Chain A
Protein backbone atom coordinates (compact mmCIF):
# COMPACT_ATOMS: atom_id res chain seq x y z
CA UNK A 1 0.00 0.00 0.00
CA UNK A 2 1.31 3.44 -0.73
CA UNK A 3 0.15 6.20 1.55
CA UNK A 4 -0.57 8.57 -1.25
CA UNK A 5 -1.17 11.73 0.68
CA UNK A 6 -2.52 14.30 -1.67
CA UNK A 7 -0.43 13.87 -4.77
CA UNK A 8 -2.16 13.26 -8.03
CA UNK A 9 -2.72 9.65 -9.04
CA UNK A 10 0.12 9.17 -11.45
CA UNK A 11 -1.09 8.37 -14.94
CA UNK A 12 -0.19 4.92 -16.17
CA UNK A 13 3.29 4.70 -17.61
CA UNK A 14 2.00 3.30 -20.91
CA UNK A 15 -0.17 6.34 -21.31
CA UNK A 16 2.83 8.62 -20.87
CA UNK A 17 4.77 6.53 -23.36
CA UNK A 18 1.88 6.69 -25.81
CA UNK A 19 1.72 10.41 -25.45
CA UNK A 20 5.43 10.77 -26.02
CA UNK A 21 4.93 8.68 -29.14
CA UNK A 22 2.48 11.31 -30.30
CA UNK A 23 -0.85 9.78 -29.29
CA UNK A 24 -3.50 12.44 -29.82
CA UNK A 25 -5.24 12.32 -26.49
CA UNK A 26 -4.22 13.13 -23.00
CA UNK A 27 -5.93 10.16 -21.36
CA UNK A 28 -6.89 11.83 -18.11
CA UNK A 29 -6.77 15.50 -18.99
CA UNK A 30 -8.47 17.00 -15.96
CA UNK A 31 -6.56 17.28 -12.74
CA UNK A 32 -9.31 15.74 -10.67
CA UNK A 33 -8.21 12.11 -10.71
CA UNK A 34 -6.60 12.67 -7.32
CA UNK A 35 -7.05 11.36 -3.78
CA UNK A 36 -8.45 14.65 -2.59
CA UNK A 37 -11.36 14.48 -5.04
CA UNK A 38 -11.73 10.78 -4.26
CA UNK A 39 -12.25 11.63 -0.58
CA UNK A 40 -14.51 14.59 -1.32
CA UNK A 41 -16.87 12.39 -3.35
CA UNK A 42 -16.29 9.27 -1.29
CA UNK A 43 -17.63 10.70 1.95
CA UNK A 44 -21.03 11.31 0.33
CA UNK A 45 -20.98 7.93 -1.34
CA UNK A 46 -20.09 6.27 1.95
CA UNK A 47 -22.90 8.09 3.71
CA UNK A 48 -25.32 6.95 1.02
CA UNK A 49 -24.24 3.32 1.29
CA UNK A 50 -24.66 3.52 5.04
CA UNK A 51 -28.17 4.97 4.73
CA UNK A 52 -29.12 2.21 2.29
CA UNK A 53 -27.66 -0.43 4.57
CA UNK A 54 -29.44 0.80 7.70
CA UNK A 55 -32.81 1.33 6.03
CA UNK A 56 -32.39 -2.05 4.33
CA UNK A 57 -31.74 -3.59 7.72
CA UNK A 58 -35.09 -2.19 8.88
CA UNK A 59 -36.83 -3.66 5.84
CA UNK A 60 -35.27 -7.04 6.46
CA UNK A 61 -36.19 -6.92 10.14
CA UNK A 62 -39.82 -6.12 9.39
CA UNK A 63 -40.14 -8.92 6.85
CA UNK A 64 -38.02 -11.61 8.49
CA UNK A 65 -37.93 -10.67 12.15
CA UNK A 66 -37.32 -14.05 13.74
CA UNK A 67 -38.96 -14.96 17.05
CA UNK A 68 -37.09 -12.51 19.22
CA UNK A 69 -37.63 -9.42 17.12
CA UNK A 70 -41.22 -10.20 16.04
CA UNK A 71 -42.76 -9.20 19.36
CA UNK A 72 -40.56 -6.12 19.63
CA UNK A 73 -41.27 -4.47 16.30
CA UNK A 74 -42.78 -1.04 16.98
CA UNK A 75 -46.18 -0.14 15.55
CA UNK A 76 -45.36 3.57 15.71
CA UNK A 77 -44.74 5.83 13.98
CA UNK A 78 -47.35 4.61 11.50
CA UNK A 79 -45.19 6.04 8.70
CA UNK A 80 -41.99 4.38 9.91
CA UNK A 81 -41.57 1.99 7.00
CA UNK A 82 -42.76 4.62 4.58
CA UNK A 83 -39.87 6.78 5.74
CA UNK A 84 -37.17 4.12 5.83
CA UNK A 85 -37.99 2.37 2.57
CA UNK A 86 -38.71 5.67 0.82
CA UNK A 87 -35.29 6.86 1.96
CA UNK A 88 -33.76 3.57 0.86
CA UNK A 89 -34.85 4.00 -2.72
CA UNK A 90 -34.33 7.79 -2.83
CA UNK A 91 -30.78 7.29 -1.57
CA UNK A 92 -30.38 4.37 -3.96
CA UNK A 93 -31.15 6.64 -6.90
CA UNK A 94 -28.69 9.23 -5.57
CA UNK A 95 -25.99 6.55 -5.45
CA UNK A 96 -25.96 6.42 -9.26
CA UNK A 97 -24.20 9.79 -9.77
CA UNK A 98 -22.17 9.43 -6.56
CA UNK A 99 -20.84 6.00 -7.45
CA UNK A 100 -20.11 6.82 -11.08
CA UNK A 101 -18.27 10.05 -10.30
CA UNK A 102 -16.25 8.31 -7.61
CA UNK A 103 -15.26 5.56 -10.02
CA UNK A 104 -14.41 8.15 -12.67
CA UNK A 105 -12.08 9.88 -10.23
CA UNK A 106 -10.17 6.73 -9.31
CA UNK A 107 -10.30 5.05 -12.72
CA UNK A 108 -6.58 5.63 -13.54
CA UNK A 109 -5.74 3.53 -10.49
CA UNK A 110 -6.98 0.54 -12.41
CA UNK A 111 -3.81 0.71 -14.47
CA UNK A 112 -1.15 1.01 -11.75
CA UNK A 113 2.10 -0.66 -12.66
CA UNK A 114 3.17 -3.15 -11.70
CA UNK A 115 -0.36 -4.52 -11.29
CA UNK A 116 0.65 -6.43 -8.20
CA UNK A 117 3.55 -5.47 -5.98
CA UNK A 118 3.09 -7.79 -3.03
CA UNK A 119 0.65 -10.12 -1.37
CA UNK A 120 -0.70 -7.21 0.61
CA UNK A 121 -1.11 -5.15 -2.52
CA UNK A 122 -2.91 -8.06 -4.19
CA UNK A 123 -5.30 -8.38 -1.25
CA UNK A 124 -5.93 -4.66 -1.29
CA UNK A 125 -6.72 -4.68 -4.99
CA UNK A 126 -8.97 -7.70 -4.55
CA UNK A 127 -10.91 -5.94 -1.80
CA UNK A 128 -11.34 -2.90 -4.04
CA UNK A 129 -12.62 -5.15 -6.83
CA UNK A 130 -15.16 -6.64 -4.42
CA UNK A 131 -16.13 -3.14 -3.28
CA UNK A 132 -16.65 -1.86 -6.81
CA UNK A 133 -18.47 -4.98 -7.98
CA UNK A 134 -20.76 -5.12 -4.97
CA UNK A 135 -21.60 -1.42 -5.20
CA UNK A 136 -22.35 -1.54 -8.92
CA UNK A 137 -24.34 -4.75 -8.74
CA UNK A 138 -26.29 -3.72 -5.63
CA UNK A 139 -27.41 -0.47 -7.21
CA UNK A 140 -28.16 -2.18 -10.53
CA UNK A 141 -30.23 -4.92 -8.87
CA UNK A 142 -32.19 -2.37 -6.88
CA UNK A 143 -32.91 -0.04 -9.78
CA UNK A 144 -33.98 -2.83 -12.09
CA UNK A 145 -36.01 -4.60 -9.42
CA UNK A 146 -38.18 -1.54 -8.83
CA UNK A 147 -39.25 -1.46 -12.47
CA UNK A 148 -40.39 -5.06 -11.91
CA UNK A 149 -37.86 -6.55 -14.27
CA UNK A 150 -35.82 -9.49 -13.02
CA UNK A 151 -33.30 -10.42 -15.72
CA UNK A 152 -30.92 -12.24 -13.34
CA UNK A 153 -30.92 -15.98 -12.69
CA UNK A 154 -31.35 -15.72 -8.90
CA UNK A 155 -33.94 -14.33 -6.53
CA UNK A 156 -33.49 -10.70 -5.62
CA UNK A 157 -34.06 -10.55 -1.90
CA UNK A 158 -31.53 -13.04 -0.50
CA UNK A 159 -28.83 -11.84 -2.91
CA UNK A 160 -29.48 -8.15 -2.18
CA UNK A 161 -29.36 -9.04 1.51
CA UNK A 162 -26.05 -10.90 1.30
CA UNK A 163 -24.48 -8.24 -0.95
CA UNK A 164 -25.53 -5.55 1.51
CA UNK A 165 -23.21 -7.09 4.10
CA UNK A 166 -20.43 -7.60 1.59
CA UNK A 167 -20.72 -3.98 0.47
CA UNK A 168 -20.86 -2.61 4.00
CA UNK A 169 -17.81 -4.68 4.94
CA UNK A 170 -15.85 -3.72 1.84
CA UNK A 171 -16.67 -0.05 2.52
CA UNK A 172 -15.44 -0.22 6.11
CA UNK A 173 -12.27 -2.00 5.03
CA UNK A 174 -11.74 0.56 2.30
CA UNK A 175 -12.06 3.44 4.76
CA UNK A 176 -9.52 1.75 7.01
CA UNK A 177 -7.07 1.20 4.15
CA UNK A 178 -7.48 4.74 2.87
CA UNK A 179 -7.35 6.33 6.33
CA UNK A 180 -4.10 8.22 5.55
CA UNK A 181 -5.56 9.82 2.42
CA UNK A 182 -8.73 10.68 4.32
CA UNK A 183 -6.75 12.20 7.18
CA UNK A 184 -4.60 14.14 4.70
CA UNK A 185 -7.77 15.47 3.12
CA UNK A 186 -9.00 16.93 6.37
CA UNK A 187 -5.57 18.26 7.28
CA UNK A 188 -4.96 19.67 3.84
CA UNK A 189 -7.83 22.14 3.83
CA UNK A 190 -6.85 25.55 2.58
CA UNK A 191 -3.92 24.61 0.35
CA UNK A 192 -5.65 23.50 -2.79
CA UNK A 193 -4.59 24.71 -6.25
CA UNK A 194 -7.34 22.60 -7.87
CA UNK A 195 -10.04 24.04 -5.65
CA UNK A 196 -12.17 25.81 -8.29
CA UNK A 197 -12.04 22.84 -10.66
CA UNK A 198 -12.98 20.42 -7.90
CA UNK A 199 -15.76 22.64 -6.61
CA UNK A 200 -17.19 22.77 -10.11
CA UNK A 201 -17.16 18.97 -10.34
CA UNK A 202 -18.85 18.69 -6.96
CA UNK A 203 -21.45 21.25 -7.99
CA UNK A 204 -22.14 19.20 -11.11
CA UNK A 205 -22.44 16.11 -8.95
CA UNK A 206 -24.82 17.97 -6.68
CA UNK A 207 -26.90 18.99 -9.69
CA UNK A 208 -27.04 15.38 -10.87
CA UNK A 209 -28.07 14.08 -7.44
CA UNK A 210 -30.61 16.87 -7.07
CA UNK A 211 -32.16 16.31 -10.48
CA UNK A 212 -32.34 12.54 -10.13
CA UNK A 213 -33.97 12.97 -6.74
CA UNK A 214 -36.40 15.62 -7.93
CA UNK A 215 -37.80 13.54 -10.79
CA UNK A 216 -38.15 10.30 -8.78
CA UNK A 217 -38.75 11.08 -5.10
CA UNK A 218 -42.42 11.90 -5.66
CA UNK A 219 -43.03 8.15 -5.56
CA UNK A 220 -43.12 8.57 -1.84
CA UNK A 221 -42.78 12.31 -1.07
CA UNK A 222 -46.29 13.59 -1.74
CA UNK A 223 -45.41 17.28 -2.38
CA UNK A 224 -43.15 16.18 -5.25
CA UNK A 225 -45.85 14.17 -7.03
CA UNK A 226 -46.21 16.68 -9.82
CA UNK A 227 -42.55 16.59 -10.84
CA UNK A 228 -42.44 12.80 -10.70
CA UNK A 229 -41.35 12.39 -14.28
CA UNK A 230 -39.12 9.35 -14.33
CA UNK A 231 -40.12 7.14 -11.39
CA UNK A 232 -41.70 3.71 -11.87
CA UNK A 233 -44.68 4.83 -9.82
CA UNK A 234 -46.67 7.97 -9.48
CA UNK A 235 -49.19 7.12 -6.79
CA UNK A 236 -51.79 9.81 -7.44
CA UNK A 237 -54.46 9.22 -10.02
CA UNK A 238 -54.23 5.44 -9.72
CA UNK A 239 -57.04 2.99 -9.03
CA UNK A 240 -59.02 4.19 -5.99
CA UNK A 241 -56.19 6.66 -5.35
CA UNK A 242 -53.62 3.98 -4.66
CA UNK A 243 -51.27 1.97 -6.88
CA UNK A 244 -51.53 -1.79 -7.11
CA UNK A 245 -48.62 -4.14 -6.92
CA UNK A 246 -50.14 -7.56 -7.51
CA UNK A 247 -53.46 -7.68 -9.31
CA UNK A 248 -56.11 -10.27 -8.59
CA UNK A 249 -55.42 -11.91 -11.94
CA UNK A 250 -51.71 -12.21 -11.13
CA UNK A 251 -52.50 -13.68 -7.74
CA UNK A 252 -54.86 -16.21 -9.28
CA UNK A 253 -57.90 -14.69 -7.58
CA UNK A 254 -61.02 -14.65 -9.76
CA UNK A 255 -64.37 -13.02 -8.96
CA UNK A 256 -65.11 -13.31 -5.25
CA UNK A 257 -68.84 -13.61 -4.63
CA UNK A 258 -70.01 -11.34 -1.80
CA UNK A 259 -72.78 -13.86 -1.04
CA UNK A 260 -70.75 -17.02 -0.65
CA UNK A 261 -67.46 -15.57 0.65
CA UNK A 262 -66.88 -16.30 4.32
CA UNK A 263 -64.24 -15.04 6.74
CA UNK A 264 -63.05 -18.00 8.74
CA UNK A 265 -61.84 -17.15 12.22
CA UNK A 266 -59.85 -19.98 13.78
CA UNK A 267 -59.33 -19.91 17.54
CA UNK A 268 -60.75 -21.22 20.82
CA UNK A 269 -64.30 -20.47 19.56
CA UNK A 270 -64.01 -20.88 15.81
CA UNK A 271 -66.34 -18.68 13.84
CA UNK A 272 -67.42 -17.81 10.33
CA UNK A 273 -68.65 -14.43 9.20
CA UNK A 274 -70.36 -13.49 5.97
CA UNK A 275 -69.56 -10.16 4.36
CA UNK A 276 -72.93 -8.80 5.51
CA UNK A 277 -72.21 -9.83 9.09
CA UNK A 278 -68.76 -8.29 8.90
CA UNK A 279 -70.29 -5.03 7.71
CA UNK A 280 -72.65 -5.03 10.71
CA UNK A 281 -69.76 -5.20 13.19
CA UNK A 282 -68.47 -1.85 14.54
CA UNK A 283 -66.61 -0.12 11.71
CA UNK A 284 -63.53 1.96 12.36
CA UNK A 285 -61.56 4.30 10.17
CA UNK A 286 -57.81 4.67 9.93
CA UNK A 287 -55.70 6.97 7.84
CA UNK A 288 -52.64 4.89 7.06
CA UNK A 289 -49.98 4.74 4.37
CA UNK A 290 -49.31 1.80 2.14
CA UNK A 291 -45.55 1.63 1.78
CA UNK A 292 -44.24 -0.78 -0.80
CA UNK A 293 -40.87 -2.53 -0.58
CA UNK A 294 -40.27 -1.02 -4.02
CA UNK A 295 -40.07 2.42 -2.45
CA UNK A 296 -43.37 4.07 -3.36
CA UNK A 297 -45.97 4.96 -0.79
CA UNK A 298 -49.26 6.77 -0.42
CA UNK A 299 -51.66 7.56 2.38
CA UNK A 300 -55.26 6.41 2.21
CA UNK A 301 -58.42 6.38 4.29
CA UNK A 302 -59.33 2.85 5.25
CA UNK A 303 -62.33 1.55 7.13
CA UNK A 304 -63.35 -1.84 8.39
CA UNK A 305 -63.31 -4.01 11.46
CA UNK A 306 -60.54 -3.92 14.03
CA UNK A 307 -58.54 -7.13 14.01
CA UNK A 308 -58.53 -7.14 17.80
CA UNK A 309 -62.35 -7.11 17.82
CA UNK A 310 -62.33 -10.16 15.56
CA UNK A 311 -59.89 -11.96 17.79
CA UNK A 312 -61.99 -11.16 20.84
CA UNK A 313 -64.94 -12.72 19.04
CA UNK A 314 -63.15 -16.07 18.87
CA UNK A 315 -61.95 -15.84 22.45
CA UNK A 316 -58.30 -15.30 21.71
CA UNK A 317 -56.20 -14.80 24.84
CA UNK A 318 -54.69 -11.35 25.34
CA UNK A 319 -51.26 -11.21 23.77
CA UNK A 320 -52.28 -13.57 20.97
CA UNK A 321 -50.77 -13.18 17.56
CA UNK A 322 -52.59 -13.91 14.33
CA UNK A 323 -51.90 -15.59 11.04
CA UNK A 324 -53.67 -14.11 8.06
CA UNK A 325 -54.31 -16.28 5.01
CA UNK A 326 -55.24 -15.01 1.58
CA UNK A 327 -57.31 -16.52 -1.21
CA UNK A 328 -54.43 -15.90 -3.55
CA UNK A 329 -53.11 -18.96 -5.30
CA UNK A 330 -50.00 -17.63 -7.00
CA UNK A 331 -46.97 -15.70 -5.80
CA UNK A 332 -45.39 -15.21 -2.39
CA UNK A 333 -46.87 -13.52 0.66
CA UNK A 334 -50.07 -15.61 0.71
CA UNK A 335 -49.77 -15.82 4.49
CA UNK A 336 -48.70 -13.08 6.88
CA UNK A 337 -48.13 -13.06 10.60
CA UNK A 338 -49.43 -10.29 12.84
CA UNK A 339 -47.41 -10.16 16.07
CA UNK A 340 -49.35 -9.39 19.27
CA UNK A 341 -48.62 -5.67 19.32
CA UNK A 342 -50.06 -5.32 15.80
CA UNK A 343 -53.12 -7.40 16.69
CA UNK A 344 -53.79 -5.19 19.72
CA UNK A 345 -53.28 -1.95 17.82
CA UNK A 346 -56.56 -0.05 17.29
CA UNK A 347 -55.31 0.99 13.84
CA UNK A 348 -54.90 -2.57 12.59
CA UNK A 349 -57.98 -3.21 10.48
CA UNK A 350 -59.51 -5.86 8.36
CA UNK A 351 -60.39 -3.17 5.83
CA UNK A 352 -63.53 -3.35 3.72
CA UNK A 353 -63.39 0.13 2.23
CA UNK A 354 -60.70 2.33 0.74
CA UNK A 355 -61.04 6.09 0.28
CA UNK A 356 -64.79 5.88 0.78
CA UNK A 357 -65.44 3.05 -1.68
CA UNK A 358 -65.79 -0.69 -1.36
CA UNK A 359 -62.37 -2.25 -2.02
CA UNK A 360 -61.87 -3.08 -5.67
CA UNK A 361 -60.91 -6.66 -6.49
CA UNK A 362 -57.33 -5.60 -7.22
CA UNK A 363 -57.12 -3.85 -3.85
CA UNK A 364 -58.18 -7.05 -2.08
CA UNK A 365 -61.98 -7.31 -2.15
CA UNK A 366 -63.76 -8.32 -0.04
CA UNK A 367 -61.35 -7.74 2.86
CA UNK A 368 -57.68 -6.96 3.37
CA UNK A 369 -55.33 -6.22 6.22
CA UNK A 370 -54.04 -2.72 6.82
CA UNK A 371 -51.72 -2.16 9.77
CA UNK A 372 -49.40 0.68 10.78
CA UNK A 373 -45.66 0.64 10.07
CA UNK A 374 -45.49 -2.51 7.93
CA UNK A 375 -44.26 -3.19 4.39
CA UNK A 376 -47.02 -3.37 1.79
CA UNK A 377 -46.28 -7.02 1.02
CA UNK A 378 -47.52 -7.89 4.51
CA UNK A 379 -50.81 -6.00 4.10
CA UNK A 380 -52.48 -9.20 2.95
CA UNK A 381 -55.29 -8.91 0.40
CA UNK A 382 -58.29 -11.20 -0.31
CA UNK A 383 -58.30 -12.43 3.29
CA UNK A 384 -60.10 -15.73 3.82
CA UNK A 385 -58.85 -16.89 7.22
CA UNK A 386 -57.53 -15.31 10.39
CA UNK A 387 -56.04 -17.85 12.79
CA UNK A 388 -55.20 -17.18 16.40
CA UNK A 389 -51.67 -18.46 16.82
CA UNK A 390 -50.85 -18.62 20.54
Chain B
Protein backbone atom coordinates (compact mmCIF):
# COMPACT_ATOMS: atom_id res chain seq x y z
CA UNK B 1 0.00 0.00 0.00
CA UNK B 2 2.54 2.56 1.10
CA UNK B 3 4.99 2.39 -1.85
CA UNK B 4 2.03 2.63 -4.20
CA UNK B 5 0.70 5.56 -2.24
CA UNK B 6 4.01 7.40 -2.39
CA UNK B 7 4.43 6.69 -6.09
CA UNK B 8 0.97 8.06 -6.79
CA UNK B 9 1.62 11.14 -4.69
CA UNK B 10 4.96 11.85 -6.33
CA UNK B 11 3.50 11.34 -9.80
CA UNK B 12 0.83 13.82 -8.83
CA UNK B 13 3.35 16.41 -7.69
CA UNK B 14 5.35 15.87 -10.88
CA UNK B 15 2.27 16.42 -13.06
CA UNK B 16 1.35 19.55 -11.11
CA UNK B 17 4.85 20.93 -11.61
CA UNK B 18 4.67 20.05 -15.30
CA UNK B 19 1.40 21.96 -15.51
CA UNK B 20 2.90 24.95 -13.72
CA UNK B 21 5.83 24.88 -16.15
CA UNK B 22 3.48 24.71 -19.14
CA UNK B 23 1.65 27.69 -17.73
CA UNK B 24 4.79 29.75 -17.21
CA UNK B 25 6.68 28.71 -20.36
CA UNK B 26 3.74 28.23 -22.71
CA UNK B 27 1.84 31.48 -22.23
CA UNK B 28 2.64 35.22 -22.43
CA UNK B 29 4.19 36.82 -19.32
CA UNK B 30 0.98 38.19 -17.77
CA UNK B 31 -1.01 34.97 -18.10
CA UNK B 32 0.20 32.96 -15.08
CA UNK B 33 -0.84 35.76 -12.72
CA UNK B 34 -4.19 36.11 -14.46
CA UNK B 35 -4.76 32.37 -14.16
CA UNK B 36 -3.83 32.43 -10.46
CA UNK B 37 -6.39 35.19 -9.91
CA UNK B 38 -9.06 33.28 -11.83
CA UNK B 39 -8.27 30.13 -9.83
CA UNK B 40 -8.75 32.04 -6.61
CA UNK B 41 -11.89 33.61 -8.03
CA UNK B 42 -13.30 30.21 -8.92
CA UNK B 43 -12.72 28.93 -5.39
CA UNK B 44 -14.27 32.04 -3.86
CA UNK B 45 -17.27 32.00 -6.17
CA UNK B 46 -17.95 28.46 -5.06
CA UNK B 47 -17.08 28.66 -1.37
CA UNK B 48 -18.57 32.06 -0.62
CA UNK B 49 -21.48 32.15 -3.04
CA UNK B 50 -22.69 28.90 -4.51
CA UNK B 51 -22.07 26.57 -1.56
CA UNK B 52 -23.70 28.80 1.09
CA UNK B 53 -26.67 29.29 -1.21
CA UNK B 54 -27.06 25.54 -1.69
CA UNK B 55 -26.68 24.91 2.05
CA UNK B 56 -29.31 27.49 2.77
CA UNK B 57 -31.73 25.80 0.40
CA UNK B 58 -30.72 22.48 1.93
CA UNK B 59 -31.52 23.71 5.42
CA UNK B 60 -35.08 24.34 4.28
CA UNK B 61 -35.47 21.23 2.17
CA UNK B 62 -34.26 19.12 5.07
CA UNK B 63 -37.47 19.91 6.96
CA UNK B 64 -39.88 19.27 4.11
CA UNK B 65 -41.74 16.04 3.38
CA UNK B 66 -40.32 13.92 0.57
CA UNK B 67 -36.99 15.63 1.00
CA UNK B 68 -35.06 12.95 -0.83
CA UNK B 69 -37.03 13.24 -4.04
CA UNK B 70 -37.03 16.99 -3.66
CA UNK B 71 -33.27 17.05 -3.22
CA UNK B 72 -32.78 14.99 -6.37
CA UNK B 73 -35.11 17.23 -8.34
CA UNK B 74 -33.50 20.44 -7.10
CA UNK B 75 -30.02 19.09 -7.75
CA UNK B 76 -31.01 18.20 -11.30
CA UNK B 77 -32.72 21.51 -11.93
CA UNK B 78 -29.81 23.45 -10.46
CA UNK B 79 -27.28 21.69 -12.67
CA UNK B 80 -29.39 22.04 -15.79
CA UNK B 81 -29.78 25.75 -15.06
CA UNK B 82 -26.08 26.13 -14.39
CA UNK B 83 -25.02 24.60 -17.70
CA UNK B 84 -27.47 26.86 -19.52
CA UNK B 85 -26.28 29.98 -17.74
CA UNK B 86 -23.31 30.66 -20.04
CA UNK B 87 -25.66 30.63 -23.01
CA UNK B 88 -28.17 32.93 -21.31
CA UNK B 89 -25.56 35.37 -20.02
CA UNK B 90 -23.34 35.50 -23.09
CA UNK B 91 -23.37 39.06 -24.42
CA UNK B 92 -23.85 39.82 -28.09
CA UNK B 93 -25.50 37.89 -30.89
CA UNK B 94 -24.37 34.36 -31.79
CA UNK B 95 -21.43 34.27 -34.19
CA UNK B 96 -23.58 32.72 -36.91
CA UNK B 97 -26.99 31.20 -37.49
CA UNK B 98 -25.89 27.62 -36.80
CA UNK B 99 -24.74 28.17 -33.23
CA UNK B 100 -26.90 28.89 -30.15
CA UNK B 101 -29.94 28.62 -32.36
CA UNK B 102 -32.36 26.98 -29.90
CA UNK B 103 -34.93 28.72 -27.73
CA UNK B 104 -32.95 28.22 -24.53
CA UNK B 105 -35.21 29.97 -21.98
CA UNK B 106 -38.20 28.00 -23.22
CA UNK B 107 -36.28 24.73 -23.34
CA UNK B 108 -34.94 25.30 -19.85
CA UNK B 109 -38.46 25.83 -18.55
CA UNK B 110 -39.54 22.66 -20.30
CA UNK B 111 -36.74 20.63 -18.78
CA UNK B 112 -37.45 22.05 -15.32
CA UNK B 113 -41.13 21.15 -15.70
CA UNK B 114 -40.25 17.65 -16.86
CA UNK B 115 -37.96 17.10 -13.89
CA UNK B 116 -40.60 18.29 -11.44
CA UNK B 117 -43.16 16.10 -13.12
CA UNK B 118 -40.90 13.07 -13.00
CA UNK B 119 -40.11 13.66 -9.32
CA UNK B 120 -43.80 14.06 -8.46
CA UNK B 121 -44.65 10.89 -10.34
CA UNK B 122 -41.95 9.06 -8.42
CA UNK B 123 -43.29 10.30 -5.11
CA UNK B 124 -46.84 9.44 -6.13
CA UNK B 125 -45.94 5.92 -7.14
CA UNK B 126 -43.99 5.38 -3.95
CA UNK B 127 -46.86 6.63 -1.79
CA UNK B 128 -49.34 4.47 -3.62
CA UNK B 129 -47.13 1.47 -3.13
CA UNK B 130 -46.70 2.25 0.55
CA UNK B 131 -50.47 2.44 0.92
CA UNK B 132 -50.77 -0.84 -0.91
CA UNK B 133 -48.32 -2.45 1.52
CA UNK B 134 -50.25 -1.28 4.53
CA UNK B 135 -53.94 -1.16 3.52
CA UNK B 136 -55.16 -0.59 7.07
CA UNK B 137 -52.79 2.23 7.89
CA UNK B 138 -55.04 4.91 6.45
CA UNK B 139 -58.75 5.12 6.04
CA UNK B 140 -60.47 4.59 2.69
CA UNK B 141 -60.57 7.40 0.22
CA UNK B 142 -57.21 8.95 1.13
A195, CB-defined interface residue at 8 Å: no
Are B68 and A216 in touch, CB under 8 angstroms? Answer: no
Interface residues on A, range: 35 or more
Are B75 and A247 in touch, CB under 8 angstroms? Answer: no
Are B101 and A154 in touch, CB under 8 angstroms? Answer: no
Contacts of B94 in A (CB 8 A): 148
Complex: chain A residue closest to B16, CB-CB? A169
Closest chain-B Cβ to A118's Cβ sits at a distance in Å of 17
A25, CB-defined interface residue at 8 Å: yes
B125, CB-defined interface residue at 8 Å: no
Interface residues of B in 3-36 (CB under 8 A from A): 5-6, 8-9, 11-20, 22-23, 26-28, 30-31, 34-35
Interface residues of A in 124-154 (CB under 8 A from B): 127, 129-130, 132-134, 136-137, 140, 143-144, 147-149, 152-154
A172 with B8, Cβ < 8 A, contacts A165-B15, A238-B98, A244-B98 known? yes
Number of interface residues of B (CB under 8 A): 70
A-contact 0/1 string along B32-47, CB 8 Å cutoff: 0011001110110111
A104 with B51, Cβ < 8 A, contacts A133-B40, A229-B110, A230-B104 known? yes
Question: Among the listed B1, B9, B30, B90, which residue makes an inter-chain contact with A183, where contact means beta carbons less than 8 Å apart?
Answer: B1
Are B42 and A170 in touch, CB under 8 angstroms? Answer: no
Contacts of A155 in B (CB 8 A): 27, 31
Complex: chain A residue closest to B101, CB-CB? A234
A261, CB-defined interface residue at 8 Å: no
Are A107 and B51 in touch, CB under 8 angstroms? Answer: yes
Q: How many angstroms between the C-alpha atoms of A297 and B99 in the bound complex?
A: 13
Contacts of B128 in A (CB 8 A): none
Contacts of B134 in A (CB 8 A): none
Are B20 and A170 in touch, CB under 8 angstroms? Answer: no
Are B87 and A169 in touch, CB under 8 angstroms? Answer: no
Are A239 and B8 in touch, CB under 8 angstroms? Answer: no
A169 with B86, Cβ < 8 A, contacts A133-B39, A233-B99, A250-B95 known? no
A222, CB-defined interface residue at 8 Å: no
Known interface pairs A132-B43, A207-B72; 7 further A-B residue pairs with C-beta atoms within 8 A, sorted by A's residue number: A103-B46, A104-B54, A132-B42, A162-B23, A169-B14, A170-B16, A230-B102
Please, could you name 8 A-B residue pairs with CB atoms under 8 Å apart, sorted by A?
A29-B62, A165-B19, A168-B19, A175-B12, A215-B111, A216-B83, A234-B102, A243-B98
> Footprint of A on B, CB under 8 Å?
1, 5-6, 8-9, 11-20, 22-23, 26-28, 30-31, 34-35, 38-40, 42-43, 45-47, 50-51, 54-55, 58-59, 62, 68, 71-73, 75-76, 78-80, 82-84, 86-87, 90-91, 94-102, 104, 107-108, 110-111, 115
